[in-house]
């Protein structure tokens, strides 16, 4: 049987890039190892990545996963976008991440990313009544029961699909607003966690499609007294996993570049990091043990064990993990040199 390879890439939509994909049929005996998969092209004028009179962009495979939807030998192929001279396209943020990951590989950085998102159907969040609002937040987070939980069948199918694909998903939970959920990917290195987060987002959209539901990483999907959606980014280096001084040094280092980080943690971050709804205001950097109102949290257990990891709570749900992990590795590891 011929092999279907779904080539997935990140487009040039502004201010927040979107996922695109198309299928390449390969010979039944084709190798699907990443190095053997052919480069491919697409019409960049339809994705905000090229002008119409010079529209070709290149897709270069960077990571391959089993396709849990089609099954068999079919694969999902995460790609990076190149110009036709084979240099990174301006919308390709993976290349810069790869350079920083390589530079600091000896410090063994690891990330676990908590991806929050919201289901929508018929123009409103799943679980919201027509023309109104559900009961206020309070019972939805990690809730159970048809009055509290909306979309679990999609969440279960998505988790199963991630596991079958070989993605390092580490958990799921219902979130504070109805129709809002979270899954976590990691701990993994910067490039691995980023490739896998993008593919797990693609799987989320693709699987929700089967249910007639859409999922969005919009950071503030409902205005007013409803939690936004973030992508808490948990981080450690080998030294942080072994001692407490490097944990504090990492928190301090992040404080020296707070503006640069916040500016690159996802469009619309000012609307989410207001200082309410378990966030710190985007204008003020802070860190603290157990503090869900701080920019960066040192988990209680980490303070107890005197080693472990830190949680950067600032990234938006719509952040680009290639950019966020690159900045964190660069800032923390440069300061540790």
Residues lying near ligand ADP in the complex (CB under 6 A) are found at 110-112, 114, 170-171, 184, 186-187, 232, 234-236, 241, 308-309, 311
Rounded Cα gap, residues 252 and 244, in angstroms? 13
CA-wise closest residue to 70 among 152, 6, 135 = 6
**CA 309/CA 242 separation, integer angstroms:** 10
Q: Taking a C-beta distance cutoff of 8 angstroms, is the pair 92, 182 a contact?
A: no
Of 141 and 244, nearer to Mn ion (C-beta) is 141
Say whether residue 312 binds Mn ion (CB under 5 A): no
Pick from 97, 45, 57: which is nearest to 320 by CA?
Answer: 97
Residue where the block lists tokens 């943020």: 93
232 binds Mn ion (CB under 5 A): yes
Shortest separation between residue 236's beta carbon and ligand ADP, angstroms: 3
Beta carbon nearer to ligand ADP, 110 or 162: 110
Per rule CB under 5 A, is residue 326 in the interface with Mn ion?
no
In terms of CB distance, is 181 or 235 closer to ligand ADP? 235
Q: Which residue is nearest to Mn ion (CB)?
A: 232
How far lies 154's CA from each of 13, 79, 201, 237, in Å? 26, 26, 13, 34
Q: Are 153 and 161 in contact (CB under 8 A)?
A: no
Does 74 contact Mn ion by CB under 5 A? no
Q: What angle do CA 199, 200, 204 make, to 5 degrees?
A: 120
Shortest Å, Cβ 292 to Mn ion: 8
Query: How many angstroms from the chain centroid is the CA of residue 325?
Result: 10
Closer residue to ligand ADP, CB minimum distance, 50 or 177: 177
Q: How far is the CB of 181 from Mn ion (least distance, A)?
A: 9
The interface region with Mn ion, picked from 180-188, 209-217, 300-308, 325-333 by CB under 5 A, is 180-188
Residue from 11, 114, 320, 330 in contact with Mn ion (CB under 5 A) = 114
- What lies within 8 Å, CB to CB, of 130 at 6+ separation is 122, 124
Residue with Cβ nearer ligand ADP (43 or 160): 160
Provide the minimum distance between the beta carbon of 310 and ligand ADP in the complex, in angstroms, as a whole number.
8
Residue ranges that bind Mn ion, judged by CB under 5 A: 114, 182, 232
């Amino acid at each position: 049987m011929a092999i279907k390879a779904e080539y997935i890439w990140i487009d040039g939509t502004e201010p927040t890039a979107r996922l695109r994909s198309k299928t390449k049929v390969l010979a039944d005996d084709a190798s699907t190892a990443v190095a053997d998969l052919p480069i491919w092209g697409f019409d960049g004028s339809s994705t905000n990545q090229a002008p119409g009179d010079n529209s070709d962009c290149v897709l270069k495979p960077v990571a391959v996963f089993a396709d849990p939807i089609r099954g068999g030998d079919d694969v999902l192929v995460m790609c990076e976008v190149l110009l036709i001279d084979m240099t990174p396209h301006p919308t390709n943020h993976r290349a810069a991440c790869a350079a920083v990951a390589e530079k600091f590989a000896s410090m063994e950085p690891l990330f676990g990313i908590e991806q929050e998102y919201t289901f929508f159907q018929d123009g409103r969040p799943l679980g919201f009544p027509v023309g109104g609002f559900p009961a206020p937040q309070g019972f939805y987070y990690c809730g159970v029961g048809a009055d509290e939980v909306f979309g679990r069948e999609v969440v279960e199918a998505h988790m199963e699909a991630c596991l079958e694909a070989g993605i390092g998903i580490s958990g799921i939970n219902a979130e504070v607003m109805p129709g809002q959920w979270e899954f976590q990917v990691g701990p993994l290195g910067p490039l691995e966690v980023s490739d896998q987060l993008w593919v797990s987002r693609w799987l989320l959209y693709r699987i929700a499609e089967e249910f007639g539901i859409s999922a969005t990483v919009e950071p503030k999907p409902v205005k007013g007294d409803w939690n936004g959606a973030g992508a808490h980014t948990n981080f450690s280096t080998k030294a942080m996993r072994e001692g407490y001084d490097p944990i504090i040094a990492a928190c301090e280092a992040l404080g020296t570049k707070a503006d640069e980080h916040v500016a690159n943690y996802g469009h619309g971050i000012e609307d989410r990091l207001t200082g309410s709804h378990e966030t710190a205001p985007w204008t003020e950097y802070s860190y603290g043990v157990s503090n869900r109102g701080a920019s960066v949290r040192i988990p209680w257990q980490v303070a107890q064990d005197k080693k472990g990891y830190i949680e950067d709570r600032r990234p938006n749900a719509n952040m680009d993990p290639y950019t966020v992990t690159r900045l964190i590795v660069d800032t923390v590891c440069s300061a540790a040199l």
